[in-house]
Amino acid sequence: MTGRVAVVTGANRGIGRAIAVALGAAGFAVAATARDPTTLKETVEDVEAGGGTALALACDVRDESSVAAMAAAASGLGPVHTVVANAGVAGPTAPLHEIALADWRDCLATDLDGVFLTFRAFVPALIEAGEGSLVAVSSMTGKRPLHGRTPYAAAKMGVIGLVRTLALELGPHGIRVNSVCPGAVAGPRIDDVIARQAAARGISEAEALAAFTGASPLGRLVEAGEVAAACAYLASDAAASITGEDLNVTAGVVMF
């Protein structure tokens, strides 16, 4: 894949950082983005430690002009082949009638509008190139409900619909569009989700964790590197016939 460029939004930690590192190891030059580019230092170092090239770029995926500026800067690395729309927020955990409209809109602005704006910024160049891979990080919560997470679930289900429709539109141009649906990924973010689930449901954090691991036939959480490997696969020529799919990486919690 030498000579190809990949863009990864929300690449400053967790899944996003792992995706950037995996793509760098696969031979991509990586444009890694975050709202605050100073938080990308470790990501760039990790990509370079693996022998790759990385560029840190500022991008607020909620803002159209910010995304456009990022896309222009990323093209400085060369023609972009792969775009991974990973940036996202967990959103509130509460019954629907207790969720403020501002919190609802903030979650959808990042988790759904952000995917739309990110992909839209790169589609014209990919059409001109006649090839490319767009990958959106959705969630298993976009496929099955999770107590108190209506904004997040709505956004992530919306991502799946966006991806399937865009796959239909862009297939004739040689562009593949897929989503990856992670399960509960070990790390600080799921720790926070577990704490909020416990509080919302009136159970202990140990019980909330068990609800995630107990639903897995493998009895475990997912690792960020496993999600990254799925994204790298979808970016590769090995996935040349795969488009419009939502690939589960859930340790078996979701099988559809």
What mean pLDDT is predicted for residues 3-27?
97
Catalytic residue among 116, 119, 122, 152: 152
pLDDT of residue 42: 97
Domain 5-183+222-249: which CATH class? alpha beta
Look up residue 109 and give its DSSP letter. I
Question: Is the pLDDT score of 1 beyond 70?
Answer: no
Helices (H), the chain: 14-25, 41-49, 64-74, 101-108, 114-129, 150-170, 188-201, 205-213, 224-235
What's the rounded mean pLDDT across residues 169-173?
98
- The structure tokens listed for 71 are 């896309």
Mean pLDDT of 190-216: 89
Annotated domain spans of the chain: 5-183+222-249
Q: Where residue 2 falls among pLDDT bands split at 50, 70, 90?
A: low
Record the pTM.
0.94
Is there a catalytic annotation at residue 152? yes
pLDDT tens readout for residues 138-160:
999 999 988 899 999 999 999 99
pLDDT greater at residue 87 or residue 190: 87
What are the tens digits of pLDDT across the range 109-145? 999 999 999 999 999 999 999 999 999 999 999 999 8
Rounded distance between C-alpha atoms, residue 126 and residue 10, angstroms: 21
